[in-house]
Amino acid sequence: MTSPLKIAIAGASGRMGRMLVEAVSQADDCQLSGALDRPDSPALGQDASAFLGRASGVAITPDLVSGIAGAQVLIDFTRPEGTLAHLAVCREHGVAAVIGTTGFTEAQKAEIAEHARHIGIMMAPNMSVGVNVVLKLLDMAARALNEGYDIEIIEAHHRHKVDAPSGTALKMGEVVAEALGRDLRSCAVYGREGVTGERDPSTIGFATVRGGDIIGDHTVLFAGTGERIEISHRSSSRATYAQGSLRAARFLASRGAGLFNMNDVLGIA
């Protein structure tokens, strides 16, 4: 019988962390081997599965080394600075990493790429299988609607999200811009106020909504003359991100060093 894939989870007491703990506990081929959280977390020392009403035997710890000891893969949905600190320890101990954290700077992305020369890293702004299928649809739509259509990206998330636009919205913009032969850094418009003048048709607009407990809504609008095409994805549960993360962890378990994305995991060319 094949041994279960040993997985450590960063931010184990957070909303996404708990969803990941639950997903791992329900997967026959996975085993929770470590649970990490910040030194100031009130959950330190507690069993990572206590919120489920059962024990996993894994206590939440702030110690990176002990938290990943015995793990094959770390799943990390935390903050950029924390993720980079985790990756440095993963690299030292040969542990692969699935990164769902967003908000990285270009310099931080370069640092991640350097770590990927030594360990397997799967990084994506959204782990949902559905979102990644939408990204392929956007590429096709942008190539077909390359003239006469204004492109706007609207995203909504819960009040606790700290970065804007979302990593998923930015990825959607990058996919569309690349399909159109544009550079998102030079054509993106992130806010409009006052007398802005007519819309520049070469731009890609972003609108951000923050409120309540919205898990994640994204719509890309192609507005032409006499018609609108909208490609949308709405998340009703973080479970979709957790299941995608486990799929990515299984993918990394059979790979060596390298930087991968969800297209690699899903086999989408």
**Which tokens sit at 225?**
């003359």
- What are residue 205's phi and psi, to 5 degrees? -90, 150
Cα–Cα distance measured from residue 13 to residue 44, given in angstroms and rounded to the nearest whole number: 9
Note the pLDDT of residue 1.
59
Note the pLDDT of residue 64.
95
Q: Which domains does the chain have, with CATH numbers?
A: 5-123+238-266 (3.40.50.720), 129-235 (3.30.360.10)
- Sequence length of the chain is 269
**Which tokens sit at 3?**
């041994």
pTM for this predicted structure = 0.82
- What are residue 262's phi and psi, to 5 degrees? -70, -25
Note the pLDDT of residue 126.
87
Q: Are 17 and 11 in contact (CB under 8 A)?
A: yes
Cα–Cα distance measured from residue 175 to residue 157, given in angstroms and rounded to the nearest whole number: 21
CB atoms under 10 Å from CB of 82, counted, come to 17
Over the chain (269 residues), the average pLDDT of each successive run of 10 is 92 95 97 96 96 95 96 97 97 97 94 98 93 95 97 97 93 97 97 94 97 96 98 93 96 96 89
**Which tokens sit at 133?**
């299928």
End-to-end CA distance of the chain: 33
**Which are the catalytic amino acids?**
157, 161
In this structure, which long-range contacts are made by residues 226-229, counting pairs with CB atoms below 8 Å and at least 24 apart in sequence? 229/141, 229/145, 229/149
Q: Are 7 and 33 in contact (CB under 8 A)?
A: yes
Cα–Cα distance measured from residue 75 to residue 27, given in angstroms and rounded to the nearest whole number: 15
Cα–Cα distance measured from residue 248 to residue 231, given in angstroms and rounded to the nearest whole number: 25
